[in-house]
Amino acid sequence: MHRSCSGILVALTSLLAITLASGKSSKVVMSWKNPGYLPASRPYRVLALGLSDKAEIRADFEDALAAELATTGLQTISGNTILLRPEGTQVNLEYLRTQIRENNIDVVVVSRLVKVDNDVTYVPGTPYIAPYPYYRTFYGYYGAVYPVVYSPGYLKEEKKVRIETNLYVIRSREGELGWTCITDTFNPSNLDKAINRLVKLVVKQMQSEGAL
């Protein structure tokens, strides 16, 4: 009976360890704001861009980023609504300049995938003693403590997706970098949820640093 209870405790401890290990979502690794950058007077127009060779993923990201930026009171345009980019093709820079000028874009926020890491690590097991209530009787104590309960080790696979996001101010012909950040997203099992978490995190960071 006591060994059965101990087995349940082992299972719960293992489950907790796995939950904690896989509970990460997205985090900001670094960010930087140009000391000379001051946001324009509101409202201004922001173009949301994603750099990806997958047209559908790019469009979903741009729509989500534009929608999140709009919640701050800005006028936003999703890149896929003004830039025709069939899958596997690149945008001509002169065409890009023309679209930005004709749509009166003041700021461009652009994100790109930097890298994807897949790591497999071994998480060693850990011995522990059953909780205090088992001390109330000798047989309860003996059955719980001998042998010492041991949580078995396991292999943990973790995927890390690194994204770079830059904010450019279209005041000169080339556009000046106003703000940049690097984010890591862990174990993105659902693409839509991962995108939504990422854009919320990035926009929140922009706001906290006065980049918007």
Nearest Cα to Cα of residue 198 among 179, 184, 177, 180 = 184
Residues forming a β-bridge with 166: 110, 180
Q: d(Cα 29, Cα 212) in Å, to the nearest integer?
A: 19
Task: For the chain, give the percent of residues with pLDDT over 90.
Answer: 26
Structure tokens at 131: 């909780």
Alpha carbon of 203 to those of 8, 34, 48, 74, 212: distances in Å? 43, 17, 11, 12, 8
Question: Highest-confidence range of 89-93, 139-143, 198-202, by mean pLDDT?
Answer: 198-202
Structural domains of the chain in order of their starting residue, each with its CATH number: 25-121+157-208 (3.30.160)
Q: d(Cα 40, Cα 44) in Å, to the nearest integer?
A: 7
pLDDT score, position 114: 80
What's the predicted TM-score (pTM) here? 0.70
